[in-house]
Amino acid sequence: MSDNTALTEHDIVHALCAPDAASLYSAARALADDVFGRQVFLRGVVEFANHCRRNCLYCGLRAANTDVERFRLDDEEILHAVSFAAAHGMGTVVLQSGEEAQGDVRRVGALVREIKRRHNVAVTLSLGDYAEDHYRYWRDCGADRYLLKVETTDDALHARMRPGTTVTERLARVETLQRLGYETGSGVISGLPGMTPRILARDILRLSAMGLEMIAVGPFIPHPGTPLGAERAAVDIEQALRATALLRLLNPGANIPATSALDSACPPQDSGTQYPVSDTRLNNQDSAHSPYGKGGREQGLAAGANVVMPSVTPERVRRNYAIYPGKNTVQCSVTEAVRQLKLRLEHAGYQPSDAIGASLSGRFRAADPM
């Protein structure tokens, strides 16, 4: 794996399925160390509403799930959560929600302006599918980044998982965001039912060809209130970690999070695992290079990630942002959860960074002879 940019689909499938991934993880972490050092950027996520018009098969917030207690935070609550993030050393705040049927575009714009007026933070939006005019409006209001995961680039799988939408539309939106000057993030859910290693390999290659500033892989975690809820067999955290490492090798300067889904699937040891982790290879990981034995976030960082995205959603509602089991279920206060996360990072040898943490992808593109 000396020339990472030359990785083929075959190489990637092999790396996803090989009996051992120790050298993959150590190569990805070494590259992350070269580019970002040991600093880890913190992004505080304000999950400000869980109403959604969509019916993504995998997501607990889908419109058809009537068991969800729906909420919308008011402006004051949102700004309070943002102040908390800024005061606790988070250089970026992410405003995230379900996809509202009648999204209040003006209100989001006003919030972005107010956040930028009050704080020296980058603002990321993660609100789903909107018209180009709306994305442009939010950018004009000062939004810096947008996160729109394609989930999978496989046409048939995407259409099945996200009824009423297509990959072509989703990718076109990602391109629109890039054209509008957002630092743009996308990503996939690994291990979706029907996703083969070959599909995931193609997703990895496709995402890596898009010139993204941020790329995320979260393992699929079945939610009992969805049509995929019966898929309780296992969460394949191993595959998500390998995909994270491969994305690092292919995208040296991109911001790559150790996703919250990794931590939900594999909480730090003392909090008890909530879901069975599928891969029997996990039991064999005792090499010095193995990221196992720690929480999912530490494992993601050991596989080359450089970002963590803790929820700073108010305690009153955070449990109701139940995308998948284990999400936002920590018993302690937001303040305590953030304190513990920073301690975990330090304990694992990283430095929580309060920097805005722009992507370094451009540096590598500029150096690219092509």
Q: Which residues bind ligand SF4 (CB under 6 A)?
A: 52, 54, 56, 59, 61-62, 98-99, 128
Distances (CA, A) of 89 to 76, 121, 123, 216: 20, 10, 14, 22
* Of positions 44, 91, 103, 128, contacts ligand SAM by CB under 6 A: 128
Least distance to ligand SF4 from the beta carbon of 357, Å? 24
Least distance to ligand SF4 from the beta carbon of 223, Å? 10
Tell me the window of 82-90, 153-161, 218-226, 361-369 that interacts with ligand SAM (CB under 6 A): 218-226
* Of positions 123, 148, 215, 262, contacts ligand SAM by CB under 6 A: 148
Least distance to ligand SF4 from the beta carbon of 47, Å? 10
Q: How many residues bind ligand SAM (CB under 6 A)?
A: 19
Told to check if 253 binds ligand SAM by CB under 6 A, we report no
Distances (CA, A) of 163 to 156, 160, 207: 11, 6, 22
Q: In this structure, which amino acid lies at residue 88?
A: H
* Of positions 220, 275, 292, 350, contacts ligand SAM by CB under 6 A: 220
* Of positions 4, 39, 126, 320, contacts ligand SAM by CB under 6 A: 126
**105, 132 in Cβ contact below 8 A?**
no
Least distance to ligand SF4 from the beta carbon of 170, Å? 11
Least distance to ligand SF4 from the beta carbon of 264, Å? 15
Q: In this structure, which amino acid lies at residue 53?
A: R
Q: Which does 173 bind (CB under 5 to 8 A by kind): ligand SF4, ligand SAM, none?
A: none
Residues 55-94 interacting with ligand SAM (rule: CB under 6 A):
58-59, 61
Strands 307-308 and 351-353: unpaired
Told to check if 324 binds ligand SAM by CB under 6 A, we report yes
Q: What does the alpha-carbon distance between residue 333 and residue 314 come to, in Å, rounded to a whole number? A: 9
- HSE-CB for 352 with a 13 A CA cutoff: 23
Q: Which does 170 bind (CB under 5 to 8 A by kind): ligand SAM, ligand SF4, none?
A: none
* Of positions 29, 119, 145, 149, contacts ligand SAM by CB under 6 A: 149
Q: Which does 218 bind (CB under 5 to 8 A by kind): ligand SF4, ligand SAM, none?
A: ligand SAM
Told to check if 308 binds ligand SAM by CB under 6 A, we report no
**Interface with ligand SAM by CB under 6 A: which residues?**
58-59, 61, 96, 98-99, 126, 128, 148-149, 151, 189, 218, 220-221, 223, 261, 323-324
